[in-house]
Amino acid sequence: MQRRFEWTLASLGGYRFYQSRYLSAGGFLVRHERVEVDQLPKGLNGFRIAHLSDLHAGAFMREGDLRHVVACVNELDVDIVALTGDYVTHESKEIHRLASDLGALQPRRGCYAVLGNHDYYGQGQDEVAALFESIDIDVLRNRGARIDTGDGALHLSGIEDLSEGQRIDPQAARASLRADDVEVFLCHNPAKAHRIAEIGCALVLCGHTHGEQIVVPKSIPRPFPRHPGERLEFGSTTAIISRGLGAVGLPMRFRAPAEVVIVTLGETGSSLEV
């Protein structure tokens, strides 16, 4: 029912509206976040991560629609791209609409991803992951990846989705972590960000909420997951929650811009600009 409703809205102009309003050059927000890390290795000072989330291929997101986003990310010359889930809306075959755009991303040190709850619908998580791997996006499913700069290493720890994953294993995700690595944790749903922070990572990247997509007064029932904020601090751990790029249900956003988040790591107290 929801899928038919979305495609009806799309055919009545909703698709064109969303594309031109939120995905055109200048239509999406580029949000810059600086995260300070104590005793950050020199090789990671100024390390930049492009954080993309909640693309939602489907009625309102089709092949070529992310071209301006990709051009923006490539122009910023980031070190890595981190994707935090919900690449499809209703079924795994929708992922193929994103292949050409995401395959054109050109970070210096690779693209990494975790899956979101929508990516498991119809048991389609393996198809989504396989498509990503075919375009050189490393999908971290209870697994980690080390990025060694030669003067300090970043460790990405990624877990399965908290609500749809059959096995969620943070320890397996951290198995390749070394004592001096700076750890960045990728997790689609921010609901447990405070618990993830307890392990001592420097940064948690999440999505899922769309920033509530359509922000309404608190007295009105909200159709989207609660958004805890764009940035949370848990002691020495920072959590960054992306409001995403796609849409579900309605081809619009209100007080919740589509966005690309650029995270820059810096030594605590340094004056490096983002």
Give residue 218's pLDDT.
Answer: 77
Q: What is the topology classification, in CATH, of domain 2-267?
A: Purple Acid Phosphatase; chain A, domain 2 (3.60.21)
| Angstrom distance (rounded) from CA 189 to CA 125 | 16
Give residue 225's pLDDT.
Answer: 82
Asked if residue 162 lies in contact with residue 188, where contact means CB atoms within 8 angstroms, the answer is yes
Asked if residue 230 lies in contact with residue 244, where contact means CB atoms within 8 angstroms, the answer is no
Confidence check: pLDDT of 223 > 90 = no
Token digits of residue 40: 């950050």
Which CA distances in Å does 155 have to 21, 60, 71, 164, 197? 36, 34, 26, 24, 15
Which CA distances in Å does 89 have to 56, 124, 175? 5, 11, 31
Give residue 271's pLDDT.
Answer: 63
Q: Which DSSP category does 214 fall into?
A: B
pTM: 0.96
- 1 or 139, higher pLDDT: 139
Confidence of residue 130 (pLDDT cuts 50, 70, 90): very high
pLDDT in tens, 202-219: 999 999 999 999 998 877
Nearest-Å Rg of the Cα atoms of the chain is 18
Burial of 109 (0-12, 13-18, 19+ CB in 10 A): middle
Token digits of residue 269: 């107290």
The mean predicted confidence, pLDDT, of the chain is 95
| Angstrom distance (rounded) from CA 230 to CA 218 | 18
Confidence check: pLDDT of 274 > 90 = no
Confidence check: pLDDT of 270 > 80 = no
Token digits of residue 48: 């930049």
Q: Report the amino acid identity of residue 231.
A: R
pLDDT in tens, 70-125: 999 999 999 999 999 999 999 999 999 999 999 999 999 999 999 999 999 999 99
Confidence check: pLDDT of 133 > 90 = yes
